[in-house]
Structure 1
């Protein structure tokens, strides 16, 4: 029996080896020398009953080992590997899709953030512009308020009868060089703004004339006065009386002829100048 077990064990080992070689060969490996011979040998190995002839009834012979089962195992392993590779590829594709979606979302978020930042920048610029406009408006209001406080009109009650640039034969230059305030003779005439009297005298066609030079060099001429209340070199303040309305010189009636000459040069429109100084006229 010991010898029979040994022979049987050798047969099992040889069969397992032969099956492994056959499976390897079917998987694409090259043929291994001796595998076919080993298989033939296994087929011819006698079973234990052959050595017990005459002692008992012959035992049935054992079927030889084959590689069929092992081939099935190799096919199953290959199938499992293919499925594993397919699962890996599917997982990789899914991961790539998630990465692409994440990148697209990040780009979209960045674009949205940039658009929002641009909208906020434009809104801030508009806000700053409105603030600046309001600042300038308030500054202009303060300036005009200061001007209104530091400037005044020459007459409180008057009627405008001739404007700057008006044409007519009554003026030697062919056009009017000032602004005429009609008022009764003897109406007080006020100094428009702080300055210094540079002339208070008779001036021909201008009649009695007072010229006051302002701080910026502008000269203001008050003409056709019936009388003068100041003298050359005198400092005068806003609102000081400098004379009385008259009809002296080249006139057709009592009125104040006002001229404004920046730097003592050519005359400009007194109406526009007075309005620029905050006066309502």
Structure 2
């Protein structure tokens, strides 16, 4: 292996040139001296013989343009024996450079950019991997965030849909109830209107009938009604309607018809029977006198007798009975009079 000849020991004063012309030193500092001036000789400046190749410095003795060359030079200096410290106080030590063609090729002007590319490419690959990893993590986080947001939006949509469905159901129920109530109200109103119409028609009919019918007497007091129980009546209950009035009060024909009977009738006293055109028999009992005879036609309001107290009585009154179609058992005279538009 080739080696450099040892340089003579001599004091060394750093050049006063700018720091850009110096390798490994900054600007001159006064605290590192003083040093005696060293005059190099022809022998000390003889070129190093060997296979080493040193790259040519460009313009003004400046350092190589690439930071990679600086790194390689530093590595070569440390591998050859280390770098002398400027403030150790010891003279420079000669350095034996090994025969490393690759070092020269690394700092060669022609190949300076070739060998740095793989290292830079490796760094770029690592940086690319890191960036890809960061991008993948960011993409995963963004995907998770989007999925959470989508789930939240879906839940909100479901809640809104349920609320809308409940509101629609409640509204439909309210509408159905309103329609039902409206129909019921309409039906009730219709029924009420129909009932009112019927009542009005009946009132009109009764008013018309009232012109054809009349009460049997006047100045009276109702003292006994149909069906009333008591020992006074042989049947055990009252079979007619009693109009108490003074003796001699006029008795009138309730409606037009034919007198079918007029005379004494036992417990009924003096009795007159008026048969109407529909076959209904009206019995007028306990008369004090009779003004008609059997077979006589009478009209509404004609006088047929007078109030008395004959027969089984406790006082003067008219006992009126109603027998539809001449039946033996009579009906309530009050209801029958009402049906004819009369209100006793």
How high is the TM-score relative to the length of structure 2? 0.54
Aligned to 1:245: 306
Report which of the two structures shows the higher radius of gyration computed on alpha carbons: 2
Question: d(CA) in 2 for partners of 1:248 and 1:193?
Answer: 24
Superposition map of 1:175-194 within 5 A? 175-193=237-255
1:146 aligned to which of 196, 205, 209: 205
Aligned to 1:62: 116
Are the structure 2 counterparts of residues 233 and 83 from structure 1 closer, same or farther at C-alpha, using a change threshold of 3 Å? farther
The answer to whether the 8 A contact 2:220-2:243 is kept is: yes
Question: d(CA) in 2 for partners of 1:52 and 1:140?
Answer: 130
Superposition map of 1:123-134 within 5 A? 124-126=183-185, 128-133=187-192
Question: d(CA) in 1 for partners of 2:139 and 2:255?
Answer: 105
Select the structure that is richer in helix.
1
Superposition map of 1:1-281 within 5 A? 50=105, 59=112, 61-64=115-118, 65-66=121-122, 67-120=125-178, 121-122=180-181, 124-126=183-185, 128-133=187-192, 135-151=194-210, 152-164=214-226, 165-169=228-232, 171-193=233-255, 196-197=257-258, 199-205=260-266, 206=268, 207-213=270-276, 215=278, 217-225=279-287, 226-229=289-292, 232=295, 234=297, 236=299, 239-247=300-308, 250=311, 252=313, 254-265=316-327, 266-275=329-338, 277-281=340-344
Aligned to 1:14: none
Higher relative contact order (CA 8 A, sep 6+): 1
The answer to whether the 8 A contact 1:208-1:228 is kept is: no
SS of alignment partner, residue 244 of structure 1: strand
| Large movers: runs of 4+ above 6 Å | none
Q: Which runs of 5+ in 2 are unaligned?
A: 1-101
Q: CA deviation at 1:81?
A: 2.3
The answer to whether the 8 A contact 2:275-2:282 is kept is: yes
